[in-house]
Amino acid sequence: MIDLRSDTVTRPTAAMRKAMAEAEVGDDVYGEDPTVRRLETKVAELLAKEAALFVPTGTMANQVALAAQTRHGDEVIIGIGAHCWRYESGALAALAGCQTQVVGNDGRFTAADVRAAYKAEDPYGAATRVVAVENTHNAMGGIVWDRGQLTEVTAAAHALGMTTHLDGARIWNAAVAGNVSERELADGFDSVSVCLSKGLGAPAGSVIAGPRDFIKKCHRLRKMYGGGMRQSGILAAAGIHALDHHRARLSEDHANAKVLAEGLAGAKGVKVLAPQTNIVMIDLERGTTAQVIERAKAQGVMLGAMRVDARVTTTEIQRIRAVVHLDVDCAAVTKAAQVIAEIAATL
Ligand SMILES: Cc1ncc(COP(=O)(O)O)c(C=O)c1O
């Protein structure tokens, strides 16, 4: 099966499993797991932040980080389709008690959008506290933010007294695609969440990074949210291995995403959005995503459907998402393009 539903479907490599099996561990709730400490130090250094905290998932990383810098009733400015707004089960409202103000129309937004969305201290309005950015932007097709625009947005937020959060679940892809370091992309953000279980291929785990006091608050919230793990060095070892061995190779995924897109370029019945990283969005000119997904699966290719927000388009779009990762190679994406093209031509 060629599974292109997400880059989360990867299985640990033999070398990663070996690193996990050999990991030195302890009870991390007692602060005694040396491998977890190693991972946290490594990520803090990579992102040039004071401290870091290992958490089980990207959702918990975002939600703990946002809860730590807000109070119930506050507002968070967010780009359209942002994971922490759209795909985290309403946690921002349910757990942090925050409302959101969605800006921009492709996941990115400008400093002017931030200034327009900000509500000055006013008893009638929610206090606008945080600006949240997602880079790369998943729901919009692995889009990479322009660095200048990131600097303008974070500076505008700080000038208005707000803090800034980066959902960097795929910061690794953004760094490789833009040929910049992760620390440059994290610059200007008060908090950053990163995932080890997406393109990097670890089985689980995310990390929050930021100032030491902030990470202390996150630590308490992690426990409250049920994310205190015991011998989690086994997972941290997978994360360390992924950081050491799977970052640079993301350029292969990006190249394979281009091969997939090019394979569909002349195909009938589909319009492909040029991929910037490892995510390929395929819009159907006829038929439904359900039809394509079912028929592709029967031919050994697994795909996902992506909802397109009404703010992005006034006409309904049937969009397929194909995500390239560690467990698919050039031959696999070439085959997938053929399968999709054949199906689309007969819809
Ligand atoms: C951009 C982004 N942030 C956060 C998450 C959440 O990660 P998890 O599935 O580990 O909760 C995802 C998951 O796909 C994501 O794409």
Q: Which of 9, 138, 165 to probe ligand 1 with, by most ligand atoms within 8 A of CB?
A: 138
pLDDT band at 311 (very low <50, low <70, confident <90, very high): confident
Q: Kindly state if the Cβ of 59 falls inside 6 Å of ligand 1.
A: yes
pLDDT of 313 > 90? The answer is no
93 C-alpha to center of ligand 1: Å?
Answer: 17
Q: Please report the pLDDT score of residue 309 as a whole number.
A: 77
Query: For residue 263, which of 173, 324, 339, 323 has the smallest C-alpha distance?
Result: 339
Q: Which of 63, 83, 108, 323 to probe ligand 1 with, by most ligand atoms within 8 A of CB?
A: 83
pLDDT band at 121 (very low <50, low <70, confident <90, very high): confident
Q: What 3-state class would DSSP assign to 268?
A: coil
Nearest atom of ligand 1 to the alpha carbon of 56: 10
Q: Which of 165, 167, 195 to probe ligand 1 with, by most ligand atoms within 8 A of CB?
A: 195
63 C-alpha to center of ligand 1: Å?
Answer: 11
Q: Please report the pLDDT score of residue 169 as a whole number.
A: 98
pLDDT of 141 > 80? The answer is yes
Q: Kindly state if the Cβ of 86 falls inside 6 Å of ligand 1.
A: no
CB 319 within 8 A of CB 293: no
Over residues 104-131, the mean pLDDT reads: 93
pLDDT band at 2 (very low <50, low <70, confident <90, very high): very high
Count of CB atoms within 10 A of residue 12's CB? 17
Q: What's the pTM value of the predicted model, to 2 decimals?
A: 0.97
278 C-alpha to center of ligand 1: Å?
Answer: 15
Over residues 305-333, the mean pLDDT reads: 89
CB 242 within 8 A of CB 16: yes
d(CA 48, CA 171) in angstroms, rounded, equals: 14
Q: Please report the pLDDT score of residue 54 as a whole number.
A: 98
Tokens 């500076």 correspond to 155
Q: Please report the pLDDT score of residue 120 as a whole number.
A: 80
**pLDDT tens string 226-283:** 999 999 999 999 999 999 999 999 999 999 999 999 999 999 999 999 999 999 999 9
